[in-house]
């Protein structure tokens, strides 16, 4: 199997951010997965607010706009730095934590932190269906998600 050049792919994300902005860059990252949604949520008091969302199906969902932090999977990503679950309704670790069963069935999130150490929020992939994410994709996201911080207010 040929080796994938991650530096070229990182440069592509950097270029899309610089020339086209955040939403097209989210679309680019979404295209690398099976997840329906790719988003950046900003920590705002005790809530996570959708700042930028790419929906592969191009439908408008009002429930995506804001989620109480204590009921959000982003809470786990912010506490741990990264959080993933591929099948919420069957994840035994989340047995007592299922505020959005039926809405979010799979989630991958990474904490976005400013250079000064202040948390901005999270970069996330999520879906209404069970999904998984490859370890190689997680490694790639660990490299590229900090690039978004230069474009967020």
Give the pLDDT confidence score for residue 88 in this predicted structure: 86
Q: Which residues of 88-98 are buried (b: 16+ CB within 10 A; e: fewer)?
A: beebeebeeee
User: Would you say the C-alpha torsion 39, 12, 4, 141 has a positive or negative sign?
Assistant: negative
Give the pLDDT confidence score for residue 7 in this predicted structure: 86
Distances in Å between the Cα of 53 and the Cα atoms of 17, 32, 104 are: 14, 16, 15
For the chain, the domains span: 6-151
What CA–CA distance (Å, rounded) separates 76 from 21? Answer: 27
Give the pLDDT confidence score for residue 52 in this predicted structure: 95
> Is this structure's pTM higher than 0.85?
yes
Q: Which CATH number fits domain 6-151: 3.90.1150.10, 3.30.450.40, 3.20.20.70, 3.90.1140.10?
A: 3.30.450.40
pLDDT in tens, the chain (153 residues): 345 566 899 999 999 999 999 999 999 999 999 999 999 999 999 999 999 999 998 866 655 788 889 888 999 999 999 999 999 888 877 766 666 556 788 999 999 999 999 999 999 999 999 999 999 999 999 999 999 999 998
Give the pLDDT confidence score for residue 93 in this predicted structure: 76
Give the pLDDT confidence score for residue 61 in this predicted structure: 63
Number of Cβ within a 10 Å radius of residue 117: 6
């Amino acid at each position: 199997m040929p080796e994938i050049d991650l530096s070229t792919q990182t440069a592509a994300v950097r270029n899309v951010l610089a020339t086209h902005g955040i939403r097209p860059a989210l679309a680019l990252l979404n295209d690398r997965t099976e997840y329906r949604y790719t988003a950046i949520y900003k920590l705002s008091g005790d809530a996570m607010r959708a700042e930028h969302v790419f929906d592969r199906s191009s439908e408008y969902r009002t429930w995506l706009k804001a989620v109480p932090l204590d009921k959000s999977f982003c809470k786990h990503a912010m506490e741990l730095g990264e959080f993933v679950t591929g099948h919420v309704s069957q994840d035994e670790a989340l047995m007592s934590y299922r505020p959005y069963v039926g809405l979010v069935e799979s989630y991958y999130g990474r904490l976005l932190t400013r250079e000064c150490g202040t948390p901005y929020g999270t970069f996330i992939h999520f879906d209404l269906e069970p999904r998984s994410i490859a370890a190689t994709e997680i490694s790639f996201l660990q490299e590229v998600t900090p690039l978004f911080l230069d474009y967020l207010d």
